[in-house]
Structure 1
Amino acid sequence: MSTDKIHGVDLHDGDWVKAGSIISWSYTHDGETKVAKEVIEAIDDEKNSTTFRVVEGDLMKLYKNFVLVVQAAPKEGGGSVVHWTLEYEKLSEEVTEPYSLLQFCVHVSKDMDLHLMEQAQAQAQA
């Protein structure tokens, strides 16, 4: 869905949709290939949200803690609005705010939206 940004995702332990599972990502951010290993901390079906805690990888070179929360809020008439929350503690004051990573998340969400819309159109034509 977002092959120019996400190059691979591997399940190391657990299940794709279970808290406690460990997932590794390979991705390109700010023109560099990077990696992240995350633990799914929580899945809230009622709020349509998933919380990921980064435990290893490039982000840990800049941040003591880094948590991503993604929530899909259903829209009236179909579809959803996606909200990303980044919670972090910088290793030092020299570390910049992760605005470009938030923009990365927005672009990945748009790629996913386009993919899902194309799938829906293909199913409607079938």
Structure 2
Amino acid sequence: MASKVDVQVEVKSPADKFWGAIRDSTDLFPKVFPSQYKSIEIAEGDGKSPGTIRIVKYAEGVPLVTFSKEKVEVADDANKLVSYSVIDGEMVNLYKTFKPTLQVIPNGDGSLVNWSLEFEKVNAEVPEPDLILETAAETFKDLDEYLLKN
């Protein structure tokens, strides 16, 4: 049975700027977060549209995963929303379904970043994705800090 968890992070960056960074994550994240991402490559598509497939290679020391293959399901620039499914990598050994959705919402001078995860564990022994949720929230805070400086 599928479950859903979510986290909301308030950031100081304007929504358009933060969304732009999310949309440029293929190039930006390995540069800004070298301790998390070794590389992000586009295997199919243009890197941003539905149907795009990206291969994310994680840095040494990242728990649980060395790589994941993601397929963009929804990319809605007007609503600053993106959703994708993990289709290969260690996560598919733990979760039958692993589908994050991210939306950036204007909030005064800053933004609210809503990140939710639909997932279905392969069995009861698989831990809840708390670490993944915490990592996502920290990444958004760190990205905000980077954007405010650059």
TM-score normalised to structure 2 length: 0.73
Deviation, 1:33, is 5.1
Q: How far off its partner does 1:106 sit?
A: 1.1
Q: CA RMSD in A?
A: 1.4
Other-structure match for 1:50: 82
Where do 5+ consecutive residues of structure 1 fail to align?
120-126
Share of identical aligned residues, percent? 30
SS in structure 1 of the partner of residue 138 of structure 2: helix
The question of 1:14 aligning with 2:41 is answered no
Q: Secondary structure at the match of 2:66?
A: strand
How far apart, in 1, do the equivalents of 2:131 and 2:93 lie?
A: 16
> 1:49·1:70 contact (CA, 8 Å) conserved in 2?
yes
Contact persistence 1:5–1:108 (CA under 8 A): no
Match of 1:99?
130
Distance 1:19 1:33 in 2: 24
Structure 2 gaps, min length 5: 1-31
Cα distance in 1 for residues equivalent to 2:91 and 2:117: 12
CA distance in 2, matches of 1:118, 1:102: 25
Aligned-partner Cα distance in 2 for 1:98–1:85? 11
> SS of the residue aligned with 1:95?
coil
Secondary structure at the aligned position of 1:117 is classed as helix
Larger radius of gyration: 1
- Moved runs in structure 1, 4+ residues, more than 3 A? none
Q: TM-score, normalised by structure 1?
A: 0.86
Query: Deviation digits for residues 16-41 of structure 1, max 9, x if unmatched?
Result: 221100001112533x5521100000
Alignment partner of 1:103: what SS?
helix
